[in-house]
Amino acid sequence: MKLHNTTHLDGVELGGRLGRYTVPWDTDDLEVFVRPSRGADFSGTCRYDRDRIYVNVGRRVKYPYRMGTNLARARSNARHWWKPTYVIELADAYQLAMFVFLHELYHWLIHRAGRNIRQKESMCDRFAARVLVDDWGATVSDGQKRPVPRTVWDFQDLDGFVVAARAGRLRAVSARRK
């Protein structure tokens, strides 16, 4: 992975934090651009055709930052379906950049693994939230600021879903196709 950072965040610190989570994946061709947002608190884009991820972090965001996510399971009744919003609390701009990066990285891994890329926002949010909760002490809560148990929002085998994107697996598959 090659990191391009034009934000106020320390590039070495940011590169270390992001790079730590690319180790098991085949990310040699991936370029990551972390840059200031033009107005929104944050945004991200994954360009499959160029192996690029863009992470935009707002300059005026106040921390701790309460980010609404798509972690919850969808619910339905006879007429419609809905999804409650769970909030993850991020301590600083590094955590915000990491969440957006990990979310977009999972989109990229889904594509690299040869999976259908449509309608995967919740999976991408879960992938990012797992890291921030496990390694950085972020908390997940509901709309009334009550903690949400891990078993309620982390219910999928996300690593297994993209196992074909692991380092070495892609090379082995392409070698067999030749």
- Number of Cβ within a 10 Å radius of residue 127: 25
Residue 174 is predicted with a pLDDT of: 46
The owner of tokens 């996510």 is: 69
Tell me if residue 109 falls in helix, strand or coil. Answer: helix
Residue 169 is predicted with a pLDDT of: 59
For residue range 127-143, what is the model confidence (pLDDT) as tens digits? 999 999 999 999 999 98
Per-run averaged pLDDT (10 residues), the chain, 178 residues: 97 96 92 96 97 97 97 92 95 98 98 95 97 97 95 96 82 45
Q: Identify the helix (H) or strand (E) that includes residue 76.
A: strand 75-76
The burial of 121, by beta-carbon neighbours within 10 Å (0-12 exposed, 13-18 middle, 19 or more buried), is given as: middle
- Number of Cβ within a 10 Å radius of residue 118: 7
Residue 167 is predicted with a pLDDT of: 77
pTM attached to this predicted model: 0.91
Give me the phi and psi of 95, to 5 degrees please: -65, -40
